[in-house]
Structure 1
Amino acid sequence: MNRELLWVLSLLLIAILLFSNNKLRMDVVALLVIIAFVLSGTLTLSDALVGFSDPNVILIAALFVIGEGLVRTGVAYQVGEWLIRVAGNSEIKMLVLLMLTVAALGAFMSSTGVVAIFIPVVLSVSAKMKTSPGRLMMPLSFAGLISGMMTLVATPPNMVVSSELMRDGNHGFGFFSVTPIGIVLLLLGIAYMLVARFWLSGVDPLAANKEGWKRKTFRDLIRDYKLTGRARRLAILPGSPFIGHRLDDLRLRQRYGANVVGIERWRKFRRVMVSVAGNTELRLNDVLLIDMSASEVDLREFCASQRLEPMVLRGEYFSEQARDVGMAEVSLIPDSELIGKTLYDVGFRSRYGLSVVGIRRNGEAMDGLLADEPLQLGDILLVIGDWRMIRQLQSQKHVMLVLNLPAEVDDVAPAVSQAPHALFCLALMVAMMLTDEIPNAIAALIACLLMGKFRCIDMESAYRAIHWPSLILIVGMMPFALALQQTGGVTLIVNGLMDIAGGAGPQVMLVCLFVLCATIGLFISNTATAVLMAPIAIAAAKQMGVSPYPFAMIVAIAASAAFMTPVSSPVNTLVLGPGGYRFGDFVKVGVPFTVLVMIVSVIMVPWLYGF
């Protein structure tokens, strides 16, 4: 082993350790890898930055935008509502339809996004059927993972492996190359989960809506969090000491127990609700929407001393303001940085542009000054503010999960009337990809531009929809594959595999590759696993003198088979809290299913592609 290879392997080990302990963000680690390769002279600058010119990076970014277009036009939510209507009270029917629907949507959207959308659906159905959400949450996450095996564009590992095939001088995978295997594994997963659900009693940590399957409205949320009678509308009069001061400077929460959750301001001859942040400066004639639940001051004296005028606050106020102000229930993920901290400590309103007006703990709404209450795992927060900020909150999946958007969200979907156009753009993209005449990245870009043309999505939302850490992770891991090839690391690993399984035939080699991929995937993301393993698999096929396609396909499938732990994939982490699971639940259910996936894949892949 030469010194350069030892350095590359050491750097790889360091990266895996950093990925595992979550001390640094994965995209930061990826950028540090690029810097280390260049400064050490292992790779040239152009080689280290080769990922930025990879077409698949553009394709993955475009697919994030397509998925956001389906959400903004209400397509994804309507599918969830349809699922509730069709499944009725049948848990079996719900499980089957849920897994089929999630796999179908996940074939064209981010599986993480699809699972996030369907978590509230599962909670509603569980409440209706009076059963634990734990019996459906894991089937939901498994279906999200299996969706990555449905089409070429379903998950980044598929595109990474296909790109590596083309880089080696072969044809890449077709759009539906992986679909036959995905369909079989989906049916196997449904059958498996119909039995495994009995192992998943779980605990209902979310105290689902007692009214059952109906999606909550503003009125329901106000009732559930005991907000009735707590809010006041106060207009700022001339001479008020509030005028010209920022909310943070006024310290209303600390001085009076008053939490400003919204501001009505005159714009173009009408009052509109504007976003509230710590640096928001108050103006004459602003109308403050204030939560006074934790206040012990006399309202009349407070208004007189601060030059404020009480205004009427009708019961339908929030529903009438639904186009300008939104509500949502959010839950902290298990390793959220917010756990143990107070809302004041983290500066929640300044950080996220939203106000927390309610907390439910163990199913009960909390009273008192919420800002000073340390947050606990399992807490459900009710946030209020601009819909745009709530949408942005959906991208904070490393901190919290948006569980429930009220029914009013359909009325304010930015492009709900453009749903047919969004479906047309999706169908056109798939059709272009199937022709093999138009590169996949170009087909996706055309679909994105058409979605913009049809106003399914605007430019700001498109850029915000892209999960930049995922793209940077891919870009940062690609130099590893190149460095391993240039320093002889790929040859060393392939020789090791040949020593172990080379004499037993290519099918045993497929088993070894699957096990190696699944093991690496326990510590790093499936995308990074595919980047590392694809060149090794292709090199192994060359050394054995067989077709590279079965070897590349087994890597793509194994990279998506992240069923074994709650941290193997983001979709598993998302359902951990809502399902009331423990780490061992995923091991108990996921390990046997991973073995089944391996057996089916090792049988089917050679049959479909041949050695």
Structure 2
Amino acid sequence: MSWQIWFVYGLVALAVLLFFSGRVRLDLTAALVIIALAVSGILTPAEAVSGFGNPLVMLIAGLFIVSEGLARTGVASAVGVKIAALGGRSERRLILLLMPVVAVLSAVMSSTGVVALFVPVVLTLAREAGLPPARLLMPLAIAALIGGMLTLIGTPPNLVVNRALIDAGRDGFAFFDFTLIGGCILLLAIGFLLTLGMRLLPQRTSAPSDDRHRRLHEFAEHYGIGDQLRSLRIQAESALVGKTVGEAAMRREHGLTVIALQRGRWLSSLNPVLVNTRLQADDVLIVVGRPETIATQTTDLRLSDQGFPHGLQRRYRESFGAAETLVVPGSPLVGKTLAQANLRARQRINVLAMRRADKPLEIDFQDTQLQSGDLLLVAGSWSDLERLTGPRTDMVLLQMPAELADRTWHANQAPWAVLITLLMLFAMATQVTSNLVAVMLAAFFMVVTRCVEMNEAYRSMNWQSLVLIAGMLPLADALAKTGGADQIVNGLSALFAGHGVYVILVGLFLLTSLLSQFISNTATTVLIAPIALNLALGLGYSPQAFMMTVAIAASTAFATPVASPVNILVLAPGQYRFSDFVKVGVPLQMLALAVTVLLVPLVFPLTRT
């Protein structure tokens, strides 16, 4: 073998070692691969950096924008609420719900697109359940990869082996020929992740800094108002109908602080309450007040107590929040009461509670004169709260809650986001255009319809993931260009020729699965499929069993983060290490191997031709 082949083999080994050690950033390792291939002369400089112009990199970049649009408009959160309603805070139940849904979707559309759609959903579910995202994102990726094993169009390797059979004059696969084997692997994978896999999934949180931020319910408990948030519907005969909020004097005369108003049923109908907001019948007021006061006023004012159901809590948190502020020395607020400060009119915020000397004030604090050092828990829309972050002379913003991550920035654009995403998935499923064109159009229209602002689109990019895949793609080109891939395949072909058919199936599976951990599963299938076909024909066996084995093995890209765009999409938000994929992925590969070798000969008899 030439030195170029040995050099590429050594580079692959070095990259794997660095990936596995976790001591060098993944994108830095990918950059090292690019430099080594260019400096060695194995690839030209243009070939070495060609990964950055690869359609796959552009496709993933576009999916980041689409995913951001779904998150910013609240669509992802809404889906998360539906699943959360069924799954609750149970990790096992959430995995049991997620994996079949994701697998079925991936059976008829791009697994990459499905994962891009569900990443923000899973992040929302993890926050709701109080789980590290790493506990749910890897099962998401695994389900999407297995989904490709369920139908003929589930993943490109299935189409590659099908075309190879047809070109050889053999019968191709039917649409559901993959379903039995893929379905069994899916069931075993779910069972594995619900049992032994629970111990192998990392407990790592996605953002250690989150621990510094209280959640809204913690703020409420800290200020002693944990049971005081309610929603009250104004009945038609209520005396409040037709009055403005200022005229109603809810806080002064009735002891209730109105912090938001829901008019209609859509998320965008949940609005801040201003002094001149005129109240109507069937308006729902989000109020803070003592339970006994609420009970009295619902009767006196003809209000219907709606409680504060989970769905409304979620919608409220997406548009509104609370923050902790400090009255600074020399503030113009010092010496004034809250009524005199009139923060609702001046700042569009409401003071929910107050602490002095690290104790919540139990009395009606509206007429209490403010002092420097007082802590105020204020509520308002996220945009109004964020205005408190600038230089100020009256108060200092101390903490925003962790729920700021749930904020819906462009709720009015949610229908556009849904339509754009559905059209993208339809185009990808029906192949009316290429996946790249479908995704780029979707990303473009997400920006045009203002589901995502341009600066948000740029920030949505996970540059580490993009550099990683762009750096590893040329390595596959180097293996092919130097003949290294052919050397591996030909050597193993000679090795398998003298053994029984089951040994050959195991060998084909392991070879295909191993290569698919480091290069595109499509490229792997293109390399291995002709060898598998020739082996079957040379040994006198019908080739369908051999080709099915190759196709299934190519989709078992579970064991490395670079094995598939699906894994790359969950890598950063899950804060995964290379070893995390190995721990979970290798046992799953062995399960898939056992199922394939046992079932393939039954479904596709190894009859000699």
TM-score norm. by structure 1 comes to: 0.56
Is 1:422–1:451's contact at 8 Å kept on the other side of the alignment? Answer: yes
Residues 507 and 537 of structure 1: CA distance in aligned 2, closer, same or farther (over 3 Å):
farther
Cα distance in 2 for partners of 1:610, 1:460 equals 57
Q: Which residue of 1 aligns with 2:263?
A: none
Picking from 322, 328, 331, the partner of 1:234 is: 328
Q: Which residue of 1 aligns with 2:531?
A: 540
SS at match of 2:382: coil
Question: Does 2:212 match 1:118?
Answer: no
Q: Which amino acid aligns with 2:12?
A: L
User: Equivalences for 1:6-405 in 2 at 5 Å?
Assistant: 6-87=6-87, 94-101=94-101, 103=103, 107=111, 109=113, 111=115, 114=118, 117-118=121-122, 121=125, 125=129, 141-150=138-147, 183-193=183-193, 196=196, 218-222=215-219, 231-234=325-328, 310=372, 314-315=376-377, 317=378, 319-320=379-380, 322-325=382-385, 384=400, 405=402
Q: Which amino acid aligns with 1:421?
A: W
Q: Which residue of 2 aligns with 1:556?
A: 554
Is 1:150–1:178's contact at 8 Å kept on the other side of the alignment? Answer: no
SS at match of 1:29: helix
State the 1:146 CA deviation: 1.7
State the 1:59 CA deviation: 1.7
Q: Which amino acid aligns with 1:10?
A: G
Q: Which amino acid aligns with 2:380?
A: E
Cα distance in 2 for partners of 1:225, 1:170 equals 70
Is 1:510–1:554's contact at 8 Å kept on the other side of the alignment? Answer: no
Is 1:62–1:444's contact at 8 Å kept on the other side of the alignment? Answer: yes
Question: Does 2:485 match 1:490?
Answer: yes
State the 1:462 CA deviation: 2.0
SS at match of 1:320: strand
Cα distance in 2 for partners of 1:438, 1:180 equals 29
Cα distance in 2 for partners of 1:449, 1:584 equals 35
Q: Percent identity?
A: 29
- Residue by residue, what CA displacement relative to the aligned partner does 1:227-263 show, whole Å, maximum 9, x if unpaired? 999851327779xxxxxxxxxxxxxxxxxxxxxxxxx
Residues 10 and 325 of structure 1: CA distance in aligned 2, closer, same or farther (over 3 Å):
farther
Q: Which amino acid aligns with 2:479?
A: L
Residues 120 and 416 of structure 1: CA distance in aligned 2, closer, same or farther (over 3 Å):
closer
Residues 36 and 124 of structure 1: CA distance in aligned 2, closer, same or farther (over 3 Å):
closer
State the 1:73 CA deviation: 1.8
Cα distance in 1 for partners of 2:488, 2:507 equals 12
State the 1:498 CA deviation: 1.4
State the 1:496 CA deviation: 2.6
Residues 423 and 535 of structure 1: CA distance in aligned 2, closer, same or farther (over 3 Å):
same
Is 2:134–2:204's contact at 8 Å kept on the other side of the alignment? Answer: no
- Residue by residue, what CA displacement relative to the aligned partner does 1:297-356 show, whole Å, maximum 9, x if unpaired? xxxxxxxxxxx99497543x1x22533557xxxxxxxxxxxxxxxxxxxxxxxxxxxx99
- Residue by residue, what CA displacement relative to the aligned partner does 1:570-601 show, whole Å, maximum 9, x if unpaired? 75997799xxxxx99995x7655432222334
Cα distance in 2 for partners of 1:189, 1:3 equals 42
Question: Does 2:424 match 1:429?
Answer: yes
- Residue by residue, what CA displacement relative to the aligned partner does 1:452-477 show, whole Å, maximum 9, x if unpaired? 23222222222222222222222222
Cα distance in 1 for partners of 2:90, 2:125 equals 14
Is 2:160–2:525's contact at 8 Å kept on the other side of the alignment? Answer: no
TM-score norm. by structure 2 comes to: 0.56
Picking from 462, 474, 478, the partner of 1:479 is: 474
Is 1:67–1:109's contact at 8 Å kept on the other side of the alignment? Answer: no
Is 1:232–1:292's contact at 8 Å kept on the other side of the alignment? Answer: no
- Between structure 1 and structure 2, the one with the greater Rg is 2
State the 1:441 CA deviation: 0.6
Is 1:119–1:575's contact at 8 Å kept on the other side of the alignment? Answer: no
Cα distance in 2 for partners of 1:569, 1:170 equals 32
State the 1:57 CA deviation: 2.1
Picking from 589, 594, 598, the partner of 1:594 is: 589
SS at match of 2:326: strand
Picking from 445, 451, 475, the partner of 1:450 is: 445
SS at match of 1:456: coil
- Residue by residue, what CA displacement relative to the aligned partner does 1:127-163 show, whole Å, maximum 9, x if unpaired? 8xxxxx79x98576334322233359xxxx9679989
Cα distance in 2 for partners of 1:555, 1:433 equals 23
Q: CA RMSD in A?
A: 5.5
Is 1:51–1:474's contact at 8 Å kept on the other side of the alignment? Answer: yes
Q: Which residue of 1 aligns with 2:409?
A: 414
State the 1:188 CA deviation: 3.3
Cα distance in 1 for partners of 2:41, 2:184 equals 47
Cα distance in 1 for partners of 2:580, 2:161 equals 35
Q: Which residue of 1 aligns with 2:284?
A: none
Q: Which residue of 1 aligns with 2:291?
A: none
Is 1:145–1:562's contact at 8 Å kept on the other side of the alignment? Answer: no
